[in-house]
Amino acid sequence: MKKKLKLFYTIFVIVLLLNCITYVKREKKPTLLRVAIVCDTQCIRIRKASAPEPESILATDGFPRYYRGGVYVNGRKYRGLVVLKKIGGKLWAINVLDIEDYLKGVVPEEIGKISPNLMAAARAQAVAARTYAYAHLNKYQELGFDLYATVQDQVYLGENSEDSLINIAIDQTRGEILCYHNKPIEAKYHSTCGGRTADFNDAWPGTAPPYLRSVKCPYCRKSPHFHWRRVYNKRNFFVQLRERIKNLGIKVPKNQSIRDLRIIRNPRSGRIRRFVLTTQTKYYIIPGYEIRGLLGGKQDPGGLLPSSYIYFKSKDENLIIDGWGYGHGVGMCQYGAREMARRGKNYREILHHYYPGTKIVRIY
């Protein structure tokens, strides 16, 4: 009897442990994904494929509503099912479709136009975007969907943005995701690294995954974002800094001014790891990834400086910033991936270069 109890207990513990581990498992078909394509609005224009004109659905109408088979939402066509529902009194549209169809509306937005000699870059982007989606299932569980269709997750614009060549590249990598120790990785990617990718902690706090570490990238020199320059008047520069650090909860007392800015670099990636602002009596240590928000100007999308891969130069009244790359710099450099493809590298070589130590696993 005791033996039986022990066996039962052992099986119970094993089942419990298996439930706690989120290892990837083989699936029969692609997972269904719920993507928020319209958020927080009062009115959505819907046109069924067979209808000549769109109809306006208002937040005051009855919900939920379901639309199947090639429906147009605010002028864009979507595959799969579209659900209109109310969240917090506002109107939302959720597109429910399988991951492979979702990728057809993501990869062209992320990797841009391709020619036949760049197929490897599109395949690499497809695997990275599939991995991202797979790793973030249930990300917004409390709101009832998986991903936003914007840069907050991955830009997804539905059927209108599809490209026949890219659709082939997606099919050729069907079901493939990047894994580290048999778990889907955090597949970060960005436009241009500027010659060397960033370490995870150059861009975010927290525990750095071992595969998101800085690697050399001699491939993105042709990117329009490879090198850029900003010129600030020294006085304005420190006034702007003083104003912007309030957003970080730092208030420099009225009778003090910022006198100096010192940079501590990550020696591996060349990016700013920390910087120190000095006033007459105090100093403030700020994480390097905040510098993009502190120094971004009107011309910068989202008010963020293109990257934190920057060097300062003082010239007379001015402070010159020489910068390299565009984006957070972590993981795959998209311009680099395109150039690697042009030079004949395959998508596996591209992915293993930017995500060292990972494995490509087919899950269906």
Comparison of 129 and 217: residue with beta carbon closer to Zn ion = 217
Q: What angle do CA 133, 135, 140 make, to 5 degrees?
A: 75
Query: Closest distance between Zn ion and the C-beta of residue 334, in Å?
Result: 8
Query: Closest distance between Zn ion and the C-beta of residue 189, in Å?
Result: 11
Comparison of 222 and 259: residue with beta carbon closer to Zn ion = 222
Query: Closest distance between Zn ion and the C-beta of residue 192, in Å?
Result: 6
Cβ 77 vs Cβ 71: under 8 Å: yes
Query: Closest distance between Zn ion and the C-beta of residue 121, in Å?
Result: 12
Smallest CA-to-CA distance from 295 within 247, 364, 342 is with 247
Query: Closest distance between Zn ion and the C-beta of residue 324, in Å?
Result: 9
Query: Closest distance between Zn ion and the C-beta of residue 340, in Å?
Result: 10
Comparison of 266 and 279: residue with beta carbon closer to Zn ion = 266
Rounded Cα distance, 126 and 203, in Å: 23
Cβ 37 vs Cβ 16: under 8 Å: no
Comparison of 108 and 336: residue with beta carbon closer to Zn ion = 336
- Interface contacts to Zn ion, rule CB under 5 A: 193, 217, 220, 333, 336
Comparison of 131 and 191: residue with beta carbon closer to Zn ion = 191
Comparison of 80 and 336: residue with beta carbon closer to Zn ion = 336
Which residue is associated with the tokens 């150059």?
202
Query: Closest distance between Zn ion and the C-beta of residue 355, in Å?
Result: 14
Q: End-to-end alpha-carbon separation of the chain, Å?
A: 43
Helix (H) or strand (E) holding 81: strand 81-87
Comparison of 220 and 305: residue with beta carbon closer to Zn ion = 220
Q: Which two tokens stand for residue 43?
A: 């009115």
